Amino acid sequence: MDYSSEEESDISESEIEEASEKPYKQLKDGNYKVKNFNGTLRCPYCAGKKKQEFKYKDLLQHASGVGKGSANRSAKQKANHLALAKYLETDLINEADKIPQLALIPVNQPAQPVENYVWPWTGIIVNIKSKLQDSAYWLKEFSKYKPLNFHIFLVDGDA
């Protein structure tokens, strides 16, 4: 399909920038549908084409490519696509795929140790048949478990 021979235009190549103002205003006013219902974007000036679902960056690339560098398009189509590119860059910038920002962790700060424990944590030891000792002995004996205190309960007749 040769666009330049099918469509006559009264716009010269030098007036493309000025001619893109009218379609830009029409896009801003909502005369042309750019957003699809499923969140994708479409080119309102390429209505009969197969692909009508673009991501933001793809539609911007399409509009810029046709508007600036396409040799086989008419001046009117170039102006329309330049207007679409301007509309995307100024009015639909929030449709751009945003790159998720990574949380920055300061390198110089050492990690603070967190003591995780369940409160109250209680252990009961029964049937100790060795000689009776005081609480200090048992604190030392079970020091690998880091007990805070130790109580000895004697049943009458054990002593």
Position 26 in a domain: yes
Residue 133 belongs to some domain of the structure? no
Asked whether residue 79 is domain-assigned, the answer is: yes
Mean pLDDT of 2-19: 57
Is residue 70 domain-resident? yes
Checking if the pLDDT of 102 tops 60, the result is no
Residue 105 lies in a domain: no
- Asked, for residue 107, whether it belongs to a domain, the answer is no
Q: Does 137 reside within a domain?
A: no
Contacts of the segment 53-57: beta carbons below 8 A, 24+ positions apart:
55/97, 56/88, 56/92, 56/95, 56/96, 56/97, 57/96, 57/97
In a domain, 154, yes or no: no
Residue of 63, 57, 23 lying closest to 43 (CA atoms): 63
Instruction: State which residues form the domain around 64.
Output: 3-95
Q: State how many domains the chain has.
A: 1
Q: What is the mean pLDDT of the chain?
A: 74
| Residue 1 pLDDT exceeds 60 | no
